[in-house]
Amino acid sequence: MPELPEVETTRRGIAPAIAGRRVCDVLVRERRLRWPIEAGFESALLGATVRAVERRAKYLLIRFDTGTLLVHLGMSGSLRVLDAAVAPRPHDHWDLVFDSGRVLRFHDPRRFGSAHFTAADPLDHPLLRRLAPEPLGGDFDGGYLHRASRGRGVALKAFVMNSRLVVGVGNIYASEALFRAGLAPRRAARRLSRAQAQALAQAIKSVLGEAIETGGTTLRDYVNADGAPGYFRQKLYVYERAGEPCRVCGTAVRHAVQARRSTYWCPHCQR
DNA sequence: ATGGGCACCTGGCTGC
DNA sequence: TGCAGCCAGGTGCCCA
């Protein structure tokens, strides 16, 4: 499912519902996620109070008075806030029940998602420690992108999806950002001019920012904290539009597989 | 260091 | 109707 805009939309949805609330029950139905849920998960969270809900890359950081819960939604995960009386469905793997009578429920059919509790600084956690800058932050700009691309033979599509370079750009928004920047996905990173790097950084920021404002992209099963889909799909220029006319020039959108992931681009608008 | 491929898992769709 | 095959918003890890 989710790339950065969908995770951020989830964060904004769950934060007001759980901030300041205390966990009065923890139910784990399936421990076999990407990494098994540790044995101490329930006892660590029981009785804890939510201080804030933050995001780093595609991880949600639910900060409690006692530590931090790191949640990743993988490919098919979602987090919803429901009335605690609502019966769980298949693939609802764990619940945090709050003193408000609401439940934070993690749903993930493919189980590529994860949940870790840590009492230490979450930014020092092995999963977060080596992550690159946030795309919407001030550390990420054309100059940074241009410097990082020097000597790199990798294709631009894979380059912008590399979480050691910049986080949060997944398969949908990589294609969309390259379209907005007018850059062909198979061009080598080292061939980026300074101006093109600037355009690409700006395109990444604009596409992610606009997707967040629209509630993210729902292709198949993504839903926000209220169970509603995102509407950015209607604004996609190329993703899953193979053979359809480019919204700018009318040329048929093309599709190819790069590094085992589908890539879409307009052969006329992108060079 | 860099780049590429694999693995993890379920469900939905396509085509024979 | 049944079923095999393929594909899907991610990413850590292993290999050359």
Please report, for the domain that includes residue A59, its CATH number.
3.20.190.10
Judged on CB neighbours under 10 Å (0-12, 13-18, 19+), A186 is: middle
In a domain, A71, yes or no: yes
Q: Which nucleotides of strand C lie under 7 Å from a protein CB?
A: 7-12
Strand C close to A258 by CB, under 7 A:
no
Strand C close to A221 by CB, under 7 A:
yes
Catalytic residue among A56, A58, A180, A254: A58
Tell me, in Å, how far CA of A220 is from C1' of C7? 12
A217 and A255 assigned to the same domain:
yes
Q: Which nucleotides of strand B lie under 7 Å from a protein CB?
A: 2-11
Strand B close to A186 by CB, under 7 A:
no
A149 and A246 assigned to the same domain:
yes
- Tens of pLDDT, residues A46-93: 999 999 999 999 999 999 999 999 999 999 999 999 999 999 999 999
In a domain, A135, yes or no: no
What domain count does chain A have?
2
- Tens of pLDDT, residues A127-186: 999 999 999 999 999 999 999 999 999 999 999 999 999 999 999 999 999 999 999 999
- Tens of pLDDT, residues A90-135: 999 999 999 999 999 999 999 999 999 999 999 999 999 999 999 9
A84 and A153 assigned to the same domain:
no
A81 and A44 assigned to the same domain:
yes
User: Which two three-digit tokens encode residue A93?
Assistant: 């793997």
Q: At which of A74, A89, A124 does a domain end? A: A124
A113 and A164 assigned to the same domain:
no
For A71-95, b/e burial (b = at least 16 CB within 10 A) is bbbbbbbbbbbbebeeeeeebbbbb
A111 and A182 assigned to the same domain:
no
What span, in angstroms and rounded, lies between the C-alpha atoms of A246 and A253? 6
Q: Is A267 helix (H, G, I), strand (E, B) or coil?
A: coil
Task: Say what the pLDDT of residue A229 is.
Answer: 94
Task: Say what the pLDDT of residue A190 is.
Answer: 97
A155 and A230 assigned to the same domain:
yes
A148 and A117 assigned to the same domain:
no
A152 and A212 assigned to the same domain:
yes
Q: At which of A76, A98, A124 does a domain end? A: A124
Residue A23, domain extent: 4-124
Q: Say if residue A200's pLDDT is above 70.
A: yes
Mean pLDDT, to the nearest integer, of A230-239? Answer: 96
A14 and A49 assigned to the same domain:
yes
A94 and A153 assigned to the same domain:
no
What span, in angstroms and rounded, lies between the C-alpha atoms of A48 and A45? 5
Strand B close to A91 by CB, under 7 A:
yes
Q: Say if residue A1's pLDDT is above 70.
A: no
> What DSSP letter does each residue of A36-62 carry, written as one string?
BPPTTHHHHHTT-BEEEEEEETTEEEE
Give the CATH number for residue A160: 1.10.8.50
Q: At which of A73, A94, A124 does a domain end? A: A124
Find out whether A18 and A24 touch, Cβ atoms under 8 Å.
no
In a domain, A271, yes or no: no
In a domain, A270, yes or no: no
Q: Report the predicted TM-score, pTM, of the whole model to 2 decimal places.
A: 0.97
